[in-house]
């Protein structure tokens, strides 16, 4: 299957700083990428949908100014957690699709804010 790579896989940052997470489709062009958040022992919650070259669509309750999403190319989307706080600590997962096939998931990024 197609490969989606997330980087970093783990990150620890200080409260108040910003963290950028990258999601790359390695062997296909992803017109659409999705960002999910997973709390411990809970399911994935869709945060936002991003289409290449346009603004992301955020799910209800997700602060777009806090979780900045950029999908500037067909192989890269980034999620920036701005002014991170301990409650932002979570597992963030992206998925990517060409729009004509199923979406493929990255391996996830565990963010810990201290």
Name the site residues for another protein (rule: CB under 8 A): 1, 6, 32, 34, 41-44, 46, 49, 93, 95, 97, 99-108, 110
Q: The tokens 């809970």 sit on which residue?
A: 42
**At its nearest, how many Å lie between another protein and the CB of residue 84?**
21
* Nearest residue (CB) to another protein, 31 versus 82: 31
**At its nearest, how many Å lie between another protein and the CB of residue 91?**
9
From the number of C-beta atoms within 10 Å of its C-beta (0-12, 13-18, 19+), residue 103 rates as: middle
**At its nearest, how many Å lie between another protein and the CB of residue 33?**
10
The answer to whether 11 and 112 have CB atoms below 8 angstroms apart is yes
How far, in Å, are 35, 63, 79 from residue 8 at the CA level? Answer: 15, 22, 11
* Nearest residue (CB) to another protein, 58 versus 104: 104
């Amino acid at each position: 299957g197609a490969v989606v790579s997330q980087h970093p896989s783990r990150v620890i940052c200080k409260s108040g700083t910003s963290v950028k997470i990258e999601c790359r489709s390695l062997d296909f062009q992803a017109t659409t990428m999705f960002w999910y958040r997973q709390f411990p022992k809970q399911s994935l919650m869709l945060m936002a949908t991003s289409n290449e070259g346009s603004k992301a669509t955020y799910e209800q309750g997700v602060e777009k100014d806090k979780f900045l999403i950029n999908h500037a190319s067909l192989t890269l989307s980034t999620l920036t957690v701005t002014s991170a706080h301990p409650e932002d600590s979570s597992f963030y997962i992206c998925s990517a699709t060409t729009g004509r096939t199923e979406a493929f998931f990255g391996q996830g990024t565990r963010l810990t804010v201290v």
